[in-house]
Structure 1
Amino acid sequence: SKRRPKLFWIAAAAPLTSVILGSVLVYLTHAENHGIQVIGHLKKGLNPPSVTSLQFSPPYMMLALKTGIITGVIALAEGIAVGRSFAMFKNYNIDGNKEMTAIGTMNIVGSLTSCYLTTGPFSRSAVNYNAGCKTAMSNVIMSLAVMLTLLFLTPLFHYTPLVVLSAIIMSAMLGLIDYQGAIHLWHVDKVDFCVCLGAYLGVVFGSVEIGLVVAVSISILRVLLFVARPKTTVLGNMPNSMIYRRMDQYTEAQAVPGVLVLRIDAPIYFTNASYLRERILRWINEEEERAKGEGEMGVQYVVLDMGAVGSIDTSGTSMLDELKKTLERRGMQIVLANPGSEMMKKLYSSKVLELIGHEWIFPTVGEAVSSCDYVLHSHKPGAVMDSAAAHGNMV
């Protein structure tokens, strides 16, 4: 059916065919008398209303909250994932809020009539899609078919062997395992592969809840590590341009003597302020050792590219304050390039902007390095304190 969508009905009819053949075989051979377990008697009719059976007392309420949160997250994740997948095929957009509202409304109404958890399953959505269904009327027809089965056809399932139902479930589970997708995750992002593997092992050796907790925990840990240990990179000048790019990515990028350009790729909060200060000082020490070994000019200016710093808190402004004083004692000047409006407001309110100096704030890295290079070649190296006044006259 995957290679030829028009033959989808073969795969769709396979479970029903297995049930029919298994039931007929058990009925003809009386296999239930020889150790083969069957479904047995099933009550006909629709589920009764459950409005009067709702319990809001503490023991039941806590269990309902615990189960509801877990199953709700799973149902929403599955429903939205299915919707986005088919939206991509049909070239239309879906609204996640509307999807959540629809699923929540269905489950609230269904809880009043003894219904099972409602979501947007992959299997039935795929069958609808391959059958060419265009509207939700297909769900109405499916509901009518289920209702007729519950009202009149349940006695036919008396001789259905449980082994057939187990085989249907196992075959469905095997069909859900996407080996190629896991291999793709391994090649693209190892952490995403660990999330996938953790969820799989948690479900296989534990339960769906454990698998979900493992996957969410690994994802949260990744976010925390990204926030607490943001990436800082050294930028170099692209030849014959004012463009600065990562030197570890662009081999043609060249360092500017006397100027160290660093890019911070995350907001500056209390969780990473200390790490950033130590990492910047480590970059400076490494650059000083490299320059000394090659007989070049030492670092006189440290340009921080703040283009990726979306926000900063008081710990971040304090870090810049301490970094400014530390560099000043070493005869260096801190320069900020491309700071955002929110960051400028925080620096102004905390008086750090006044400490650094308005003349050391630039809209681009290229302008910041050009200004520093001009001062370096106009005055003797090391005269950082006097160069501020000269830079003010230049601009």
Structure 2
Amino acid sequence: MIDIRGWVPGIRTVTTYKVSWLPRDLVAGIVLTTLLVPQGMAYAELAGLPAITGLYTSILCLLAYAVFGPSRILVLGPDSSLGPMIAVVLVGSLGAGADPAEAVALASALGLLTGVLLVLAGVAKLGFLADLLSHPTQVGYLNGLALTILVGQLPKLFGFSVDGEGLIAEAKGFVEGIADGKIVPAALVIGLFGLAVIVGLRLWLPRVPGVLIAVVLSIAAVPVFGLEDRGVDLVGSLPQGFPPFTVPAFSFSDLGVLAAGALGITLVSLTDTISTASAFAARTGQEVRGSQEMVGIGAANVAASFFQGFPVSTSGSRTAVAEQAGARTQVTGVVGAVAISLLLLFAPGLLRDLPQPTLAAVVIAAALSLADLPAMTSLWRRRRVEFGLAVAAFLGVAVLGVLPGIGIAVGLSVLNVFRRLWWPYQAVLGRAHGVSGYHDVSVYPDAERMPGLLLFRFDAPLIFANARVFRDRIREFARTEPELKWIVVAAEPITDVDTTAADVLEELDQELNEQGISLVFAEMKSRVQEKIVRYQLTKTIDPEHFYPTVEDAVAAYRQQTGAEWNV
């Protein structure tokens, strides 16, 4: 019998809820709302959509995740990392300056497609797809995304707009706008003020809601300083009430752009959700249920798409705010959704005087939090190859755009895995003074070698991609090592041998036998050795040439040859 509570965790939350948790969840929900409203509006505009859609999206995704999401504390909503991706899809399909209604419809279709992909991935237990973005490529991608967002918001912060698409075009338009004297001084002042408040409080008083304070002070400054008369654009009154239920519709010609965008957004959402869920689960002692997380965030996207919403993801910053405010369950998110709904129903004019440069400051502050320059520095110090991967991912996003950038990031991650399999680390081993066991002679150059014996370690599964690399290295030893009798492969790192590698091993062993050299294996895992037997390689490779340890192989060689160690 299917346990419906496993697929609908909200039932478990209701049946196990303790009344003592309610005060904390209520307070945390109200505190969370102060962040959800301005960020939701700002990230909607970042995606090229009306600000109000950010609130619609926040309401529905919070309610849906409360029903289908497994985490007691994660908070979903419009996200700064998804905004540029959504904007790219809208521009790619509708072009710049599209009708807002058409943009909302297409964004809803994108949310529906993304949600369906996430739900299907969750049902199929494909959480491992999050691993397609390695840490170095994530760092490079997010840094490129941060720069793209920052440059795209600078004109709005300075009080004007540009028509360029992409980082280079937007940067050029921004510089030209400054040169042409388009700066609105009052807009720049209020925008920089909001940015200083948000960033300053984040650094020195992280528990204080800097976004809320910046929004409230900016709204208060509008009538006091007459900012609207000074050319500062305002949000204006929001539509009153709730959007009608609308089935997302799109034309067949849009399917290609939507599918590409949905795949990219799905991967980013999945990576963000798994990493954020893991981080907070470790702090609260909960278990991460990756497949159900995908179902939960997928349901959130689907629900939002039917009410003029757009794709959403997990937010680390909003989750942290909820946790700090004392949130115990997803009731916190429900309280936030209800509070936003009440705002739309009874006080839609409350944010009328919110300056657009302040929203730009909110987005820029989020972009700065995405950037991770210390991680780039760390990669440079620790491993230059992975630093190069991060730089390539950064340039892919910055130069080619967000969607191509994530494609490059995924491609680089996969190629890096393949590179490690293709050219794995290889080492000749020797006996180092004062250290037990056998070690890499490149690390211990004074390590002893035994005449006629070569100890070799190959740090990868032996498969079609690297079998010939293994063969060529062994052939090189046979050609260059004087009076070689045994080549002992320290096979502990070899976790697999496929049929292609088996054929190569058979050919190689016959070739070595003709030269009077024995191919010997030590520390081979039992499952790998079973495959060797199944491939019938023991007809060629002497079954006695498999030893449980390298020490046993060395002892057998010494017994047969009488050889002793020397330098």
> TM class, shorter-chain normalised?
0.7 to 0.9
Aligned ranges 1:37-76 → 2 under 5 Å: 37-51=233-247, 53-55=248-250, 58-76=252-270
Whether contact under 8 Å (1:317, 1:346) holds in the other structure is no
Structure 2 unmatched ranges of 5 or more: 1-200
Question: Cα distance, 1:278 vs. partner?
Answer: 0.7
How many angstroms apart in 1 are the aligned matches of 2:324 and 2:389?
31
Distance verdict in 2 for CA 1:269–1:207, change over 3 Å? same
Letter in 2 for 1:18: A
Q: Aligned match of 1:310 in 480, 495, 498?
A: 495
Question: Cα distance, 1:184 vs. partner?
Answer: 2.3
- In the alignment, which residue of structure 2 is the partner of 1:358? 543
Letter in 1 for 2:562: H
- In the alignment, which residue of structure 2 is the partner of 1:78? 272
Whether contact under 8 Å (1:182, 1:193) holds in the other structure is yes
Question: Cα distance, 1:345 vs. partner?
Answer: 3.6
Whether contact under 8 Å (1:242, 1:366) holds in the other structure is no
Whether contact under 8 Å (2:522, 2:553) holds in the other structure is yes
Question: Cα distance, 1:151 vs. partner?
Answer: 2.0
**Identity of counterpart residues, as a percentage?**
28
Q: Aligned match of 1:36 in 232, 237, 261?
A: 232
How many angstroms apart in 2 are the aligned matches of 1:195 and 1:131?
38
- In the alignment, which residue of structure 2 is the partner of 1:178? 372
Alignment pair present for 1:188 and 2:382 = yes
How many angstroms apart in 2 are the aligned matches of 1:153 and 1:2?
29
* 3-state DSSP of counterpart to 2:429: strand
Whether contact under 8 Å (2:222, 2:353) holds in the other structure is yes
Question: Cα distance, 1:9 vs. partner?
Answer: 4.2
What's the CA shift string for 1:176-209, capped at 9, x where partnerless?
3233233223223333333433333444444332
How many angstroms apart in 1 are the aligned matches of 2:361 and 2:203?
23
What's the CA shift string for 1:49-70, capped at 9, x where partnerless?
123x445x53344333222111
Distance verdict in 2 for CA 1:167–1:248, change over 3 Å? same
How many angstroms apart in 2 are the aligned matches of 1:184 and 1:86?
24
- In the alignment, which residue of structure 2 is the partner of 1:26? 222
Q: Aligned match of 1:127 in 306, 321, 331?
A: 321
* 3-state DSSP of counterpart to 1:170: helix
How many angstroms apart in 1 are the aligned matches of 2:340 and 2:393?
33
Query: If you compute each CA radius of gyration, which structure gives the higher value, 1 or 2?
Result: 1
Whether contact under 8 Å (2:379, 2:386) holds in the other structure is yes
What's the CA shift string for 1:137-183, capped at 9, x where partnerless?
21112112211222233323223221111122112211332332332
Letter in 1 for 2:228: E
Distance verdict in 2 for CA 1:212–1:144, change over 3 Å? same
Whether contact under 8 Å (2:237, 2:350) holds in the other structure is no
* 3-state DSSP of counterpart to 1:356: coil
Compare relative contact order (CA 8 Å, sep 6+) and give the higher one, 1 or 2: 2
- In the alignment, which residue of structure 1 is the partner of 2:523? 338
How many angstroms apart in 2 are the aligned matches of 1:78 and 1:321?
46
* 3-state DSSP of counterpart to 1:115: coil
How many angstroms apart in 2 are the aligned matches of 1:368 and 1:275?
24
Question: Cα distance, 1:268 vs. partner?
Answer: 1.4
How many angstroms apart in 2 are the aligned matches of 1:160 and 1:65?
35
TM-score (ref. length: structure 2): 0.59
Alignment pair present for 1:259 and 2:453 = yes
What's the CA shift string for 1:257-283, capped at 9, x where partnerless?
211011111111221111111112223
Distance verdict in 2 for CA 1:326–1:19, change over 3 Å? same
Q: Aligned match of 1:287 in 475, 481, 487?
A: 481
- In the alignment, which residue of structure 1 is the partner of 2:514? 329
Letter in 1 for 2:551: G
Q: Aligned match of 1:166 in 350, 360, 376?
A: 360
TM-score (ref. length: structure 1): 0.83
Structure 1 unmatched ranges of 5 or more: 289-297, 379-395
Question: Cα distance, 1:301 vs. partner?
Answer: 0.8
- In the alignment, which residue of structure 1 is the partner of 2:431? 237
Q: Aligned match of 1:92 in 286, 290, 293?
A: 286
Letter in 1 for 2:464: F
- In the alignment, which residue of structure 2 is the partner of 1:368? 553
- In the alignment, which residue of structure 1 is the partner of 2:211? 15
What's the CA shift string for 1:233-256, capped at 9, x where partnerless?
112235699832322334564212
How many angstroms apart in 2 are the aligned matches of 1:159 and 1:2?
24
* 3-state DSSP of counterpart to 1:304: strand
Q: How large is the RMSD of aligned CA atoms in angstroms?
A: 2.6
* 3-state DSSP of counterpart to 1:157: coil
How many angstroms apart in 1 are the aligned matches of 2:339 and 2:401?
32
Letter in 2 for 1:354: K
Q: Aligned match of 1:151 in 337, 340, 345?
A: 345
How many angstroms apart in 2 are the aligned matches of 1:202 and 1:126?
30
How many angstroms apart in 2 are the aligned matches of 1:241 and 1:157?
70
